[in-house]
Chain A
Amino acid sequence: DAGVIQSPRHEVTEMGQEVTLRCKPISGHNSLFWYRQTMMRGLELLIYFNNNVPIDDSGMPEDRFSAKMPNASFSTLKIQPSEPRDSAVYFCASSSGQGNQPQHFGDGTRLSIL
């Protein structure tokens, strides 16, 4: 079975540009998570969707960040305008059910804002 698929794997762009990260969760998983990972702050949860509905976006750093999940098989994380401090690895993860179900992570998007 295919795992969580993220694109692009790498993105380098200039500050001020719009950045869109994409995620396809594992089929049948009803929960989707966007994380940001940096050396300084580790793995931080940005937003969590359940059944395509945003449940907790308290981790979204500011209004420049937005996320959508138009259907069960696709989600986007958008940064507009981007800033150098947004440089990080962004992960998407999905899981099924409740409790101790593992989160299945994609391989991430390494974002560099110049």
Chain B
Amino acid sequence: TQLLEQSPQFLSIQEGENLTVYCNSSSVFSSLQWYRQEPGEGPVLLVTVVTGGEVKKLKRLTFQFGDARKDSSLHITAAQPGDTGLYLCAGPKPNTGNQFYFGTGTSLTVIP
């Protein structure tokens, strides 16, 4: 059973299009992290959202944490081929310090 479900699982779009990917759970998390993993590399942290309803922007990427802290979304404006990769959300495992559950991932391909 996956604690963090991500959708869609796969997404292929043309350069310049906008897209949104989702990370959902039935559990409340104190925070959520988003990572991007490029082919042949390990995941790299993009952002951490902490407060319910929080919105963070990283250039063309907008991250939102749900009010109830059970879900998060990532919106990319005017996607570029460099955005291609696997997007993973991660939430802390309670009472463990710094262990995380990782989501199922969304594999994004941006076609030039």
Residues of chain A having any CB pair with chain B under 8 Å: 4, 31, 33, 35, 42-43, 45, 48, 50, 56, 91, 93, 95, 97-103, 105-108
Pairwise interchain contact A107-B31, C-beta atoms closer than 8 A: no
Residues of chain B having any CB pair with chain A under 8 Å: 2, 31, 33, 40-45, 48, 50, 88, 90, 92, 96-100, 102-105
Nearest residue (CB) in B for A33 is B99
A sample of 20 more A-B contacts (CB under 8 A), given A43-B105, A103-B43, is A35-B102, A42-B2, A42-B105, A43-B88, A45-B100, A48-B99, A50-B97, A56-B96, A56-B99, A91-B42, A98-B98, A99-B92, A100-B50, A101-B98, A102-B48, A103-B100, A105-B42, A105-B44, A106-B42, A108-B42
Q: Given known contacts A42-B103, A100-B31, A100-B92, is B44 in contact with A31 (CB within 8 Å)? A: no
Q: Hey, which chain B residues are within 8 Å of A48, CB to CB?
A: 96, 99
Q: Hey, which chain A residues are within 8 Å of B31, CB to CB?
A: 100
A94 to chain B, nearest CB (A): 10
The complex places the Cα of A50 from the Cα of B98 at a distance, in Å, of: 10
Nearest residue (CB) in B for A45 is B99
The complex places the Cα of A45 from the Cα of B90 at a distance, in Å, of: 12
Q: How many A-B contacts at CB < 8 Å in the complex?
A: 57
Nearest residue (CB) in A for B42 is A105
Pairwise interchain contact B45-A102, C-beta atoms closer than 8 A: yes
Pairwise interchain contact B41-A107, C-beta atoms closer than 8 A: yes
Pairwise interchain contact B102-A42, C-beta atoms closer than 8 A: yes
Pairwise interchain contact A99-B98, C-beta atoms closer than 8 A: yes
A21 to chain B, nearest CB (A): 13
Q: Hey, which chain A residues are within 8 Å of B98, CB to CB?
A: 31, 95, 97-99, 101, 103
Q: Hey, which chain A residues are within 8 Å of B104, CB to CB?
A: 42
